[in-house]
Structure 1
Amino acid sequence: MTTQNLELSSSSNLDVSQFQHTPYYCEENVFFLCKKLCESGTADAKGSDLFVVFISNEKKQIPLWHQKASNRADGVILWDYHVICIQKKNGGDSPHLVWDLDSSLPFPSPLDLYISETIRPSFQLFSEYQSRFFRIVHAPVFLQTFASDRRHMKDSVGNWIAEPPAYDPIVAEDGMVHNLNEYLDIHASDVAENAGVDLTSAVFSEKLGVVISHSQLEGFFSQI
C-alpha cells in the first residue's frame, strides 16, 4: 500500500513488537499476524475467529486516522488501501477486536473504538473520500489462497517504491503467485445491500469474501 497527500485494551499477552511488520506491505503483515495469533493460542488454531479486512474504494483514496505513518498530530493519512484483521469474539462482554499493526491505538482495539477513532464515519469528508468499502475474507480461506509477488510495489521501470520484506513472496497453496489485485478490485456495485444470513454465510465460503460499507461493519460481526 502507498500513501497520498491529504488535505483537510489489549486482551492478549502479545505485544505489537512481536509481529512481523514491513512498512507499506500491510497485506503480508496481516497474513503473518493471522498465523501468529493462531500459533500463540490468541485465536482459534485454524483461525476460524479471524477475518482479514481490505479497506479501499474505486478511487483508491481512503483516509484513516491514528496511523503511525502519518506526520500529522491526528494521525490521519490517505492510503490507497489498507488491510487489518478483525477477531470475532463470542459470548460475554468481550468486544470484537481489531488488529492493526499500523495503528497508534491500543493493540488490539475494540471494534467500536476502531470504527469511531480510525474510520470516523461521522466526520465530514470531501466527496471523493466519502466511500470506504470493506472486503471481509475469512482468515482460513485467505491463508490458503492469498498470493503476492509484490509487483504492485514497483514503479514503471521496475524500481521498488518501498523496500520489500526480506522473506520470499507469499505463494498460494494452489501455486498462484499473485492475486492481490483481485482483493483490491472493490466497487460500489459490490457492496451488499444488507448484512443478512446469506451474506454472513458467504464470507465463510467465498475466496474473495464479501464487500460491505462502514455502516454495516459492526452489524455484520454481530450476526456471524
Structure 2
Amino acid sequence: MIPELLSALPLTLGIMFVAMIVGFFLALIATALRVRRVALISSLVDLYVSYARSVPVVLQLFVAFYGLPLITDHLGYADFFTANVAAMIGLSLYHGGYLSEVMRPAFLAVERGQHDAADSMGYSFWQKMKRIVGPQALHFALPGYGNAIIYLIHNVALVMYIGAADVMATAHLIMERDYNQYQFGTYLVLAVLYSLLCGVAWLIIRYFEQRHAKYSSKSAARVKFTSV
C-alpha cells in the first residue's frame, strides 16, 4: 500500500504549502490591520480571525467547498472550482486567522520604547517592522509559528471530506478495495507518515529558532561593546 499512499503525497504537500504561504501573507496583513486599528476594517479583520479560530476546520472546508462556487458560477468560472482548490482556500483562510493570533502577541511583546524610538527616527510603519520591531517580534513568534505549522499538517487530513484525493482519502480507498482487512496497518503507515512530516517541520523551525537566538546574542553583544 505504501507506493499508492506515496503517489498521493504530492497533492497533500501541495495543499499544505499553498495554505502555508497564502496563510502567512494573510496573517501579516491581518496583524498589521489589527495593531493599527483602522476604523471598520480592523473590526472586519477581527471577525475573520474569530471565525478562523472558533469554527471547526472541517466546517470551514465545507463552507469553502459549497459556498465559494456560488460566487464563481456567477463569474463564469464554474469549472475552475474543484475540491483541491476549495481545500487550499479553506486551509489558507484557517491558517491565516490562526497565525494572526501568533503574530499579534509577538508584535505587542516588543517593548514600547522600541516603537517610540523608531517613530522618533521618522520610520514608516513598514520600515519600523522591517528594521526594528519585526526582528524582535520574530523571536517571540517562532515557537507559536511552529505549532501553527504542525496544526496545519494535521488539518490537511480533513480535506478528504470534501473529495480531495490526498493521502488520507487514498488510504480509505485502499481499505475499501481490500474489504477493510488491513485497517490497522494502513492507519499505522499514515501515523508514521504524518509523524515524519511534523518532525521535519519541527526540525526546520528549531533550526531557525537556534539561528535567530545566536544572531540576537551577537547583536546584543555588539550593542553593548559599542555603548562601552
TM-score (norm 1): 0.26
TM-score (norm 2): 0.26
* Rg (Cα) greater in structure: 2
